[in-house]
Structure 1
Amino acid sequence: MTVIESVAEMREFIAQVRQQGKKVGFVPTMGALHEGHLALMEEAKSSSDTVVASIFVNPTQFGPNEDYDAYPRTWKSDIDACQKIGVDVVFRPHVADMYPQGWGTWVSVDNITEKLCGQTRPGHFRGVATVVTKLFNIVQPDRAFFGQKDAQQVVVLMKMVRDLNMNVEIIMVPIVRDPDGLAKSSRNIYLTPEQRTAALVLSRSLLSAQQMVIQGQRGCRLICSEVQDKIAEEPLAAVEYVQMYSFPDLQEITTVRDKVLLAVAVRFGTTRLIDNMILEVKE
């Protein structure tokens, strides 16, 4: 496995891979790798000749009161994990190279970034779209792999790729969960033991919504209300949102039809967790 920190060196490596006619799979990450990230890398390995993973804590997607400085940076264990999984190249660019002095160009995706996490994290998806565009320009992947846990992010990037005619396919990989149901997240390490136990209410509430749909419930407002009430029963949980939208276009709906995204954001102390489930009705 090779570690590349220079943009120029990364471009040179990709040029050589392209000359050999190899397909490139790309997994962008901010490090603090867990089984969810490794599932993305495994998926990339299964359909690519060369797998590139980036590790870059992107400052532009953090708000002024968010955890950029405190975000976990676990370089040694991240490198070990990438090597064990069989990644070919880890790209670790420097902030000064990604955002050089005088930099001032943004990528904004309208109409779907203002809802869900965009409601309380203004500018977040602009930062995500901008850094992913830059990474795509450098790595030039055939396919890029992202986790369903950040379903809104996946939809934003799919729209960005389509709107800007980028020659890359976005692949969404299902959520990876601990045996007790908690979705894997780099922020889980912030949870106290009591908060982690409390956070299990997220997966339980989503499963209860799925059961409601299976039993014939189609009203979005009622389903969201039931989920919110279930989460609110947990004293350590502070609900930020419980919302449903059509998937993948994230349009307002009142009735469950076809595929629907049920997404939640909840704070446990100072730690903000998100989770979701894609509900599907086949009639």
Structure 2
Amino acid sequence: MAQQLPSAPFPILTSVSEVREWRAARQAAGEQVGFVPTMGALHDGHLSLVRASLLANEATVISIFVNPAQFAPHEDLATYPRTIEADIAALASLTIPVEGSSSPRTVSALFLPPISALYPSGIDTDVSKQRGTFLEVKGLQEVMEGVSRPGFFRGVATVVIKLFNIIQPTKAYFGQKDIQQALLLRRMLTDLHVPAPLASNLVIIPTYRDAASELALSSRNAYLRAEERPWATVLIDALHKAQQVWDEQKTKGAVVVKDVLEAARASVRAVEKKAQEEGKGVEVRLIYVALNDPDELWDLEKGESAMVPRGKGAVLSGAVMLGRTRLIDNLVFDYPLN
């Protein structure tokens, strides 16, 4: 039975052949193609990536695909928010004026593949049951998020290389909120000599934050209960405490890694204790805080030197569980992302 597609003011492509035909027409027209891969449940953070693509490229294609390969069997694949009609409406609302043209730029196409299009051998969240070709980025996938989510970046790299091979975008756009993902994918593009996009054309857009709280926007924020929302800035508040230590020590010379990390961890622990003492059923749990080299993602806490020298940057990242919601965030110190 053919897939029933929602209505949209732009083409909705569901097969590899349809995308390649669409891409060939863009190439024949001499158009640059920007690409924003998503798992749907679009929010203003996603839309900021789409706007950046619309500004820089004649054509912009979005993909929506909830990728089973980046979920472990115990994770939230079945309950991950799926809001395709709202997503299409949000994409359709975007218009970017173009100097010298009476027609603004809008989204050119949506790639909405079924699982069979991207995983012709099928896919199981249990790695031991998977068949077919999968991709790993050794050394960069086992740290930070990879410590508590083994296999996650294997799934990310696998699906993204498939999407890049199908779409062959001029530029691709990712958010800084998923900084490890973006830096890992740049390494993948470099190591595999991928021609489209080039590693230099993987654009990292600053994390889109709530203006009042600075909470990073995430599709998983929809899981937060009303009583949990006032606690949702626990992680970004902790990262800012660590940034204060970084900034203070940087002005004096080298930065002591453990001092930066302890500032963040102590901040989360204080919130954990406060939530427990209030006894309103809000549970805060630190998963990790890490300081990593921005090029190789080495864990600086486990390195030979306990110091970050002047002139060297770092990625400070972390994750907390707030109830059943996993919150991630990061700050990048003294390192240009683009």
TM-score interval (norm. to shorter): over 0.9
Matched residue, 1:256: 308
**Which of 110, 135, 141 is the aligned partner of 1:90?**
110
What SS does the corresponding residue of 2:47 show, helix, strand or coil? helix
**Which of 40, 52, 60 is the aligned partner of 1:51?**
60
What SS does the corresponding residue of 2:159 show, helix, strand or coil? helix
Q: In 2, are the aligned partners of 1:26 and 1:51 still within 8 Å (CA)?
A: yes
Matched residue, 2:14: 5
Matched residue, 1:269: 323
**Superposed displacement of residue 252, structure 1:** 3.3
Larger Rg belongs to: 2
Give the stretch that moved more between structures: 58-67 or 80-89. 80-89
Specify the code of the residue in structure 1 equivalent to 2:111.
F
Matched residue, 1:29: 38
Specify the code of the residue in structure 1 equivalent to 2:295.
P
CA distance in 1: counterparts of 2:267 and 2:43, whole angstroms: 28
**1:118-157 alignment runs, 5 A limit:** 118-157=146-185
Structure 1 or 2: more strand by fraction: 1
Q: In 2, are the aligned partners of 1:199 and 1:237 still within 8 Å (CA)?
A: no
Specify the code of the residue in structure 1 equivalent to 2:315.
L
Report sequence identity in percent.
Answer: 41
Give the stretch that moved more between structures: 203-212 or 24-33. 203-212
* 1:195 and 2:228 matched: yes
4+ residue stretches of structure 1 with deviation over 3 A?
Answer: none
Matched residue, 2:126: none
Q: Which runs of 5+ in 2 are unaligned?
A: 1-9, 95-105, 123-130, 273-282, 301-305
CA distance in 2: counterparts of 1:252 and 1:210, whole angstroms: 17
**1:217-228 alignment runs, 5 A limit:** 218-228=255-265
What SS does the corresponding residue of 1:197 show, helix, strand or coil? helix
**Superposed displacement of residue 184, structure 1:** 0.3
Give the stretch that moved more between structures: 248-257 or 83-92. 248-257
Q: In 2, are the aligned partners of 1:55 and 1:90 still within 8 Å (CA)?
A: yes
**Which of 268, 285, 288 is the aligned partner of 1:241?**
288
CA distance in 1: counterparts of 2:230 and 2:290, whole angstroms: 23
CA distance in 1: counterparts of 2:89 and 2:164, whole angstroms: 24
Q: In 1, are the aligned partners of 2:61 and 2:107 still within 8 Å (CA)?
A: yes
**Superposed displacement of residue 101, structure 1:** 3.3
Matched residue, 1:100: 120
CA distance in 2: counterparts of 1:119 and 1:215, whole angstroms: 29
What SS does the corresponding residue of 2:93 show, helix, strand or coil? helix
Could you give the per-residue CA deviations for residues 211-264 of structure 1, whole angstroms, max 9, x where no partner exists?
A: 222222611111111101101111332011000011132123332342210000
Q: TM-score normalized by structure 1?
A: 0.96
Specify the code of the residue in structure 1 equivalent to 2:298.
Q
**Which of 116, 137, 144 is the aligned partner of 1:116?**
144
CA distance in 2: counterparts of 1:149 and 1:244, whole angstroms: 15
CA distance in 2: counterparts of 1:144 and 1:72, whole angstroms: 23
Matched residue, 2:81: 72
**Superposed displacement of residue 121, structure 1:** 1.1
Q: Which runs of 5+ in 1 are unaligned?
A: none
* 1:183 and 2:237 matched: no
Specify the code of the residue in structure 2 equivalent to 1:28.
P
Specify the code of the residue in structure 2 equivalent to 1:21.
G
**Superposed displacement of residue 71, structure 1:** 0.2
**Which of 242, 254, 262 is the aligned partner of 1:209?**
242
Could you give the per-residue CA deviations for residues 175-232 of structure 1, whole angstroms, max 9, x where no partner exists?
A: 0001211100000000112222112121111122222222226111111111011011
CA RMSD of aligned residues (A): 1.5
CA distance in 2: counterparts of 1:122 and 1:202, whole angstroms: 22
Specify the code of the residue in structure 2 equivalent to 1:135.
L
**Superposed displacement of residue 281, structure 1:** 8.1
Q: TM-score normalized by structure 2?
A: 0.81
What SS does the corresponding residue of 1:65 show, helix, strand or coil? coil
Give the stretch that moved more between structures: 158-167 or 256-265. 256-265
CA distance in 1: counterparts of 2:308 and 2:61, whole angstroms: 38
Q: In 2, are the aligned partners of 1:256 and 1:281 still within 8 Å (CA)?
A: no
**Superposed displacement of residue 113, structure 1:** 0.4
Could you give the per-residue CA deviations for residues 135-186 of structure 1, whole angstroms, max 9, x where no partner exists?
A: 0011110111000000000111000000000121211110000121110000
Matched residue, 2:51: 42
What SS does the corresponding residue of 2:141 show, helix, strand or coil? coil
Matched residue, 2:125: none
Q: In 2, are the aligned partners of 1:50 and 1:88 still within 8 Å (CA)?
A: yes
